[in-house]
Amino acid sequence: MPNDFWFKEVGRALLAGAAGAVLGWVLGVPAWGAALGLALLLGWHLRQLHDVLRWLSQGNRQAPKDLSGPWDALYGGIERLRRRGKKRKKKLSRLMRGFQKANAALPYGTVVLDADGQVEWFNQAAAQMLHLDSRRDRGRRITFLLRDPEFVRYLESGRYDAPVQIPAPRGSQGRLSIQAVKFGKHQILLTVRDVTREQALDAMRRDFVANVSHELRSPLTVLRGYLDMLDEETPSGRRQSVEEMRAQVERMARLVEDLLLLASLEAPEVQREEAAVDVGALVEQAVAAAQADTRAAHPFELDLDRSLFLQGVEHELESLVNNLIDNAVHYSPAGRPVCVHWGVEDACPVLRIEDQGVGIEPEHIPRLTERFYRADAGRSRESGGTGLGLAIVKHVLQRHGGELEIHSRPGEGSTFVCRFPAHRRIHAEDAPLPATGEVA
């Protein structure tokens, strides 16, 4: 197609030049005649170009008249592109209207932020929950509109694996859950949910569990007393039954204590009394308690930085250490070593507990921190576990800003890694030197 236009225009130019030359030859100036013919052809092209440019400048409202040759083809090509673009624009407009209608119908809010954190768009639900106004707030930074410190830290961190919960703005008696997702060219999509009712139901559940657990304490204490009396009066041949009853009562008591602890950990955080906690000492105490249990015969290999302390709540961290040590002991065959490391990795305090036990199938690992979830229910009951240990560990870590990593291979053992934030790291000047040794 371009070659056809090229040949036609060359032919047109030759024809105009030849016609002008013939006319000039008649007048005795053939060269000037040829130049005049080419000039007239150029003027015709300029006229055609002027008509096309005027059509473009007028917004394609009225088609240019008397176009021919390459200019008619150019106009036709532009017109086809314009119509195609118009169809595409209509299609995109329909999709956008459908998207906006769908977002408007969603029960949760949606906010689109640009690369600078400025509000580009939001739906009606977001406007109601965050008190946004389209004329006033578009183009403003979201951190100027939502000044909650937790939300600001969350947005600036760039880590959006989990949502952040904040009080509803402007004095509302509610709670909002906000999840950020990166998309496009450094844009961010915020989804906002009102979790006030969910939190109220969760509080009712916690209160119910705590109340029931408190009520169970008294009858369990009475049962313990009667079992002590039976133990003294029962003939030796029947004491096994009493011991079995005692074991079940103790298991129920541990379950009650774990439920109460978990309820307190799940409750909204109040002002907690934190101090420099000697985690190394907590590990040694837990190891000593595990070795005092005659059912467990495991050598412990300890690598503890005794100069490293952790800013935190001591009884919560003690529960974390005890549950991880108990877990390693109960799920490892007798005689297999348990390795415990406490030190600094990448500037962060890290507690690592490694066993050579039965291991965990990969499909169970994501659910291990759920309450009462058991990868091997039979073995867990045999060991006296309550099914709450790792749930307690998870909540203690969350309250200290830490993360839990679980690595395991069936038949080879498991490794539990507790990684705490660097700002909780404390070095005591008078702490003993790091100790590495084996406790058999």
Sketch out the chain's domains with CATH numbers: 2-96 (no CATH), 106-194 (3.30.450.20), 198-266 (1.10.287.130), 275-439 (3.30.565.10)
Cα separation, 267 vs 264, in Å, equals 5
Q: Say which DSSP state 375 is in.
A: S
Is there a contact between 248 and 220 (Cβ–Cβ < 8 Å)?
A: no
- Banded model confidence at residue 440, pLDDT cuts 50, 70, 90: very low
Of residues 213 and 320, more confidence is placed in 320
pLDDT on residue 180 = 93
Pairing of β 300-304 and β 338-345: parallel
Tell me the C-alpha distance between 388 and 264, whole Å.
13
Give the integer Cα–Cα distance in Å for 322 and 388.
12
Is the pLDDT reported for residue 404 higher than 80? yes
Q: Which of 174, 178, 108 has its CA nearest to residue 143?
A: 178
Structure token pair of residue 301: 């290999």
**Residue 359: pLDDT over 50:** yes
What are the backbone angles phi and psi of residue 149, rounded to the nearest 5°? -60, -40
Percent of the chain exceeding pLDDT 90 equals 22
Percent share of the chain, pLDDT over 70: 85
Please name which of 312, 340, 282 lies closest in space to residue 397, comparing C-alpha atoms: 312
User: Which distant-in-sequence residues (6+ apart) come within 8 Å of 183 by Cβ?
Assistant: 189
Q: Give the residue among 271, 265, 294 at the shortest CA–CA distance from 369.
A: 265
Cβ(357)–Cβ(379) under 8 Å?
no
Task: Determine the Cα–Cα distance for residues 91 and 99; give it in Å rounded to an integer.
Answer: 12
125-126-132-137 Cα dihedral, nearest 10 degrees: -130
- Tally of residues, the chain: 440
Per DSSP bridges, beta strands 308-312 and 275-277 are: antiparallel
Which residue, chain included where needed, has tokens 């937790």?
A: 150
Residue 319 in 3-state DSSP? helix
Q: Looking up tokens 């100036």, which residue turns up?
A: 29
| 433 C-beta neighbours (distance < 10 Å), count | 8
Q: Say how far apart CA 277 and CA 134 lie, in whole Å.
A: 50
pLDDT 10s digits, 183-208: 888 899 999 998 888 878 777 877 77
Q: What is the mean pLDDT of the chain?
A: 81
Higher pLDDT, 105 or 140: 140
Contact 116, 141 (CB under 8 A): yes
Q: Which of 9-13, 60-64, 382-386 has the lowest mean pLDDT?
A: 382-386
pTM of the model: 0.57
Query: Nearest 5°: CA angle at 292, between 288 and 298?
Result: 75
Closest to 140 (Cα-Cα) out of 117, 158, 110, 157: 117
Distances (CA, A) of 73 to 14, 60, 85, 342: 21, 16, 18, 78
